[in-house]
Amino acid sequence: MTHRRTQTEALHAYLYLSPSALIFLAFTLLPAFYVLYIGLFNWNFLNTSMSKFIGFSNYAALLKSHDFWHSLIATFYFVLGSVPTGIFAALFIALLLMRPFRGLGLVRLMFFAPYVTPVVSTSIVWLWLFNPQFGLFNEILHFLQLPQIGWVQSARWAMPSVILYTLWHTMGFNIIIFMAGLTTIPSELGEAARIDGASAWQEFWHVTWPLLAPTTLFVTVINTIGALQAFTQFFTLTNGGPAGSTTTASFLLFQQAFVFYHTGYAAALAVFIFIIIAALTLVQMRVSRSEAY
């Protein structure tokens, strides 16, 4: 009787999970294997019957391509510029927002609101802010008697400009996650540290920060994956320019697939991006696992 009941419960569980499993199979797993398949062909986007099997030639050409290595450098520049800064800034702001003050709810909403706005529409607004002739940012620099810069129209400043926008757009998510992590830390631990004479910095470094390790690991992994896959803000703000300074791996994939119709080559690039993301995520998990858990 117990065995039959267990089987019935298992059947019900599988039935409840089947819609999500079918969606995952249809829109994630099968397309992923199809990309692996396309990467082995000189794929004709307009006429698949004209596609020619070339084995691993797309992968070999990719490794010899200057554009590919340049896009990887731009990608890691973006990751290193946006992820650590975003995490530490979000943690600092989260610590401030955990203290009660008048208007706290409104301030929290102001930080979180950018995250739920569409990237395309907000990045178009930021294009006006970045305008070198009459944009707000250059007006602020002029008011402070600092030299004005070209922002997204400058090869030197285009990537920092995209990083600045990305920090603004993703900050709210990181703050919310850190605030959730801070609420799980028992207040008695901080009180005990203060009774023992610990300063605010010592309390944070020896009590709060170690207990936030699992939250920090989660935020780091999620932000790193998002940065490696970032595309929309580059497409809207810089279109990969100027002079290819913001052509990341994801943007190069878009160009090869939908501008030049090198579909097999783009599929091979997608596989490389997946390998890089998986490898970095695994390294982060291995390095941080002992500290986090």
Contact 214, 274 (CB under 8 A): no
pLDDT in tens, 187-229: 888 788 888 787 888 888 888 888 898 899 999 999 999 999 9
Q: What is the mean pLDDT of residues 56-67?
A: 93
The answer to whether 231 touches 123, Cβ cutoff 8 Å, is no
Q: Rounded mean pLDDT of 265-283?
A: 92
Say if residues 43 and 267 touch (Cβ distance below 8 Å).
yes
How far apart CA 95 and CA 208 sit, in angstroms, is 10
Q: Flag whether pLDDT at 8 surpasses 90.
A: no
Rounded Cα distance between 182 and 91, Å, is 10
Asked if 256 and 266 touch (Cβ cutoff 8 Å), the reply is: yes
Give the chain's domains with CATH numbers: 39-292 (1.10.3720.10)
pLDDT at 200: 81
Give the ranges where 25-56 is alpha helix by DSSP (H). Answer: 30-38
Q: How confident is the model at residue 7 (pLDDT cuts 50, 70, 90)?
A: confident
CB neighbours (10 Å) of residue 206? Answer: 13
Local confidence band at 162 (pLDDT 50, 70, 90 cut-offs): very high
Q: What span, in angstroms and rounded, lies between the C-alpha atoms of 14 and 99?
A: 45
CA dihedral 104, 107, 112, 117 (to 10 degrees): 140
